Amino acid sequence: KVLDASTLSFGTRVRWFAICFVAGIVCSILGTALLWLPKGVKLFAVFYTLGNIAALASTCFLMGPLKQLKTMFDPKRVIATVVMLVSILSLL
């Protein structure tokens, strides 16, 4: 069940999912728009990465962080997960 993973109510989970998901979309679009500025590549990388992190956080609110991690590291998805995490961490 959705509510078993956390003490947050279903309404709170959905609300925070929507907030994080919209923030992720806004950051990704903003990063793409900033790509055309003189130092746009760096800004693109930062905002696009923030958008991806916000999108990942949004699904954590729906399914819970442990189930999210178990799903991400499922044998069918582990390569994609590792590539995504390495890409995100390479910006640091």
Q: Look at residue 6 and tell me whether its pLDDT is greater than 80.
A: no
| Domain count within the chain | 1
Q: Is 58 within a domain? A: yes
Q: In which domain, by residue range, is 41 found?
A: 6-91
pLDDT tens, position by position, 34-90: 988 988 888 998 999 999 999 999 999 888 888 899 999 999 999 999 999 998 888
Say if pTM beats, i.e. exceeds, 0.75: yes
Q: Is 1 within a domain? A: no
Mean pLDDT of 24-42: 92
Q: Is 47 within a domain? A: yes
Q: Rounded to whole angstroms, what are the CA distances from 41 to 21, 44, 51, 87, 89? A: 23, 5, 15, 15, 16
Mean pLDDT of 12-20: 93
d(CA 17, CA 58): 4
Cβ-based neighbour number of residue 53 at 10 Å: 15
- Which pLDDT band, with edges at 50, 70 and 90, does 8 fall under? confident
What are φ and ψ of residue 36, in 5° steps?
A: -90, 0
CB within 8 A of 66, min separation 6: which ones? 5
